[in-house]
Structure 1
């Protein structure tokens, strides 16, 4: 059985403790908890504190790049959480806290059940998407593939 991994990055406008980032920071824990309680959720990246991934060493030199990674039963579960919960507010509002990033900010790919993706693996998938475009091995939120490698229509 395969599950869907997703990785996304955001380049914050300032340090996490900045007043500019306060709303984003204040809602990290509740939005992460909502993800964990959502149907189809399997796993998410956490730092040693166990609430978020804010204290993790990332594979990016830019210290303002914040990473998020999770694993879901399928695309429908991830889509429901991403676009039909309070999480959608943060997607729509990201310009308040985030600077523009060249290329894709998010990537998805299928993994074997039980596999926990690494940050290096995720970064490589995002780089592949930015270089090669969407395909069965790394795809965007707008060009979805199924577990058999077939493109889906949204």
Structure 2
């Protein structure tokens, strides 16, 4: 069995999505998502059917937390996209749109190839990371764990 890398990251919005505060973020969503879709090693991303992203999903039932989830072939593919020329400028501006949270906001975990994680799966993995730190069940790009053995 082969495995792919699932990732989740959340953000607590500073204002409603349709507010002037969030305008640049929302205006850039299509470009950022298109770059992900075209990236080497990209497999899948969560979409809500309401547009180009997944802004309709909430995390832990909190209307101010939005979620991004995707699946990648490798950590290197994810890293290349995250720090690439299209996504990086938005990453650098994240404090304009999202509150700084002291707890972990990003978690990674391995899923069997072809499996697509749910928001509930992501909530569980981020909780594990927050409670136990990086483990094989939930980790980060800075503290990676290898693919499970087939």
How far apart, CA to CA, are the structure 2 residues paired with 1:5 and 1:85? 22
Tell whether 2:28 aligns with 1:27.
yes
Kept after mapping to 1: 8 A contact 2:75/2:141: no
SS of aligned partner of 1:64: strand
State the partner residue of 2:72: 72
How far apart, CA to CA, are the structure 2 residues paired with 1:148 and 1:115? 15
User: How many equivalent pairs are there?
Assistant: 148
Which stretches of structure 1, 4 residues or longer, exceed 6 Å deviation after superposition? none
Most deviating of 67-76 and 82-91: 82-91
Most deviating of 139-148 and 104-113: 139-148
TM-score (norm 2): 0.94
Kept after mapping to 2: 8 A contact 1:106/1:141: no
- Residue 59 of structure 1, CA deviation: 3.7
State the partner residue of 1:10: 11
Shift in CA distance, 18/103, structure 1 to aligned 2, threshold 3 Å? same
How far apart, CA to CA, are the structure 2 residues paired with 1:27 and 1:84? 15
State the partner residue of 1:152: none
Shift in CA distance, 135/24, structure 1 to aligned 2, threshold 3 Å? same
Q: Relative contact order: is structure 1 or structure 2 higher (C-alpha 8 Å, sep ≥ 6)?
A: 2
State the partner residue of 2:106: 106
SS of aligned partner of 2:141: coil
Kept after mapping to 1: 8 A contact 2:136/2:145: yes
State the partner residue of 1:96: 96
- Residue 62 of structure 1, CA deviation: 2.2
How far apart, CA to CA, are the structure 2 residues paired with 1:50 and 1:20? 19
TM-score (norm 1): 0.91
How far apart, CA to CA, are the structure 2 residues paired with 1:113 and 1:146? 15
State the partner residue of 1:121: 121
How far apart, CA to CA, are the structure 1 residues paired with 2:51 and 2:70? 14
- Residue 50 of structure 1, CA deviation: 4.9
How far apart, CA to CA, are the structure 1 residues paired with 2:142 and 2:90? 18
Please list every run of 5 or more consecutive structure 1 residues that lacks an aligned counterpart in the other structure: 150-154
